Amino acid sequence: MNWAGRAVLITGGRGFLGRPLAAALGARGARVQAVGRAEVDLCDRGATLALFKQRRPELVIHAAVQGGGIGWMREHPVESGRDNALINTHTLEAAQACGARAFVGVSSACAYPRQPATIPFVEEELWDGRPEPFNDSYAQTKRLMMALGDAYHQQHGLPCAFPMLANLYGPGDHLSPERAHVVAALIQRCLAQPEELLVWGTGRATREHLFVEDAVEGVIRCAELALQGEHLGPLNLGTGQEVRIAELAQAVARACGYRGALRFDASKPDGQPRKCLDVRRMKERLGWQAPTSLDEGLARTVAWYRQALAAEAS
């Protein structure tokens, strides 16, 4: 697609995913409007509608989120549910009201049921049970966004795509341990060179990890189809590779050069027992697959964290 001159509004445009998304689309010639908390409180319906009507984007990519790792989710079920429900509904409404041609809402694999019928997760079984209790309120807001997207397409003809991302990691993630996701949290602990590396849970749970630059490319490909009038709905976006938390912790330790012992704290939650995406539909619809291996992605992420933490300490 020729992106030159296309007006794209990205919510969460200065966040972990939004920032590289804005940079990638800007490099392709799009007129990117990166919106963050400084410009608008998306929990405020009136302010959200006013901003979107002023900016008049052709495409809205909704990457704003109120969230964090499993610890933050456990301690903030109200904020992660209430705030994201408001943010998602207001952004969808504003996209339609301002005349946008397409909407891309970044979703998450956490919206899948805790005990799905099939591993890896397939899109058709998204609604077949409650999500993991520790992030249930947050996960339900993702489901709400995707259901509303179907409704806006049905009633107003707005094409929507909802890439359901595997666990993101990479340069630019949180420096705050409270907000950090599992890879970022493990890297920060390893770089502190503790006597032992403490890992939440039993280590038996599995996750799938998606490098942020690969996520950017996948989201852009979803956006291109939506702008061509395709209503993709929920679409898994990941690598399709399932990794035990114990194996992930060992890989992070190697990437950081950490040689201490690993200790698993079974008093902390494992979260979803298994999490892995079926990416066959992604490959078919997008003609693409995520190219970055876990070892390569971890090496690049650790290098970034070394620089970022050194700069913060100076």
Q: Can you tell me the distance from the alpha carbon of 84 to that of 56, in angstroms, rounded to the nearest whole number?
A: 23
Question: In the numeric block, which tokens belong to residue 252?
Answer: 């992070």
Residue range 95-100: average pLDDT?
98
Q: Residue 181: what pLDDT?
A: 78
What per-residue confidence (pLDDT) applies to 172?
A: 93
Higher pLDDT, 269 or 245: 245
Return the CATH superfamily for domain 7-169+210-240+273-290.
Answer: NAD(P)-binding Rossmann-like Domain (3.40.50.720)
Per annotation, catalytic residue among 138, 152, 258, 305: 138
138 included as an active-site residue: yes
pLDDT surpassing 90 at residue 160: yes
What percent of the chain is predicted at pLDDT more than 70? Answer: 98
**Looking at 42-56, 118-132, 175-189, which range is the least confident one?**
175-189
In terms of pLDDT, which residue wins out, 71 or 21?
Answer: 21
pLDDT recorded at residue 300: 98
* pLDDT score of 174: 82
pLDDT of residue 270: 87
pTM score = 0.94
Q: Which of 199 and 70 is assigned the larger pLDDT? A: 199
In 3D space, the residue among 54, 129, 56, 107 whose CA is nearest the CA of residue 232 turns out to be: 107
- For residue 207, what pLDDT band results from cuts at 50, 70 and 90? very high
* pLDDT at residue 71 greater than cutoff 80: no
How far apart, in whole angstroms, are the C-alpha atoms of residue 220 and residue 288? 11
Q: What mean pLDDT value characterizes the chain?
A: 94
Question: Domain segments of the chain: what residues?
Answer: 7-169+210-240+273-290
Return the DSSP state at 277. Answer: B
Whether residue 70 has pLDDT greater than 80: no
Task: For residue 11, give the H/E element and its range.
Answer: strand 7-11
Residue 72 has pLDDT above 90, yes or no: no
DSSP 111-155: GS-SS-SSSSB-GGGTTSS---GGGHHHHHHHHHHHHHHHHHHHH
For 223-246, how does the pLDDT look when each residue is reduced to its tens digit (9 = 90+)?
999 999 999 999 999 999 999 999
pLDDT at residue 279 above 90? yes
